[in-house]
């Protein structure tokens, strides 16, 4: 199973609205994507976080590179900062563990 964790912060008030206009449909897309096993969102320490578990990394990449999520990724640098982290695992981490992994190992996007 492939675990994907993101933690993003909108850059400002206008970015906040653009962020949510893309984030809500992107989350809906993830929930319906082939290969998804688990999908949740949570606000932690000012970050809008997602925790997803996929059948494989290929399933996650297919989702990531399609639909509204692709549009969101193309807008990312204009509207948000944050981190992403993905790894193989046999279990879905708790939110506490997921956020710690994100902070320690996540790729930073300024």
pLDDT in tens, 27-58: 999 999 999 999 999 999 999 999 999 999 99
Angle at 94 between CA 91 and CA 97, to 5 degrees: 100
Q: In 22-60, which positions are buried (b, 16+ CB within 10 angstroms) versus exposed (e)?
A: bbeebbebbeebebbeebeeeeeeebbbbbbbbeebebb
Mean pLDDT over 48-73 rounds to 94
| pLDDT, greater one: 109 or 5 | 5
pLDDT (0 to 100) of residue 35 = 98
Q: Which CATH class is domain 2-109?
A: alpha beta
């Amino acid at each position: 199973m492939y675990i994907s964790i993101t933690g993003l912060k909108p850059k400002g008030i206008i970015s906040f609205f653009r962020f949510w206009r893309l984030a809500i449909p992107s989350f809906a897309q993830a929930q319906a994507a082939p290969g998804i096993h688990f999908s949740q969102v949570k606000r932690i320490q000012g970050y809008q976080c997602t925790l997803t578990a996929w059948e494989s990394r290929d399933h996650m990449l297919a989702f990531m590179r399609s639909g509204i999520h692709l549009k969101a990724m193309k807008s990312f640098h204009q509207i948000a900062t944050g981190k992403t982290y993905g790894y193989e695992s046999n279990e879905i981490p708790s939110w506490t563990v997921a956020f710690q992994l994100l902070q320690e190992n996540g790729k930073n996007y300024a």
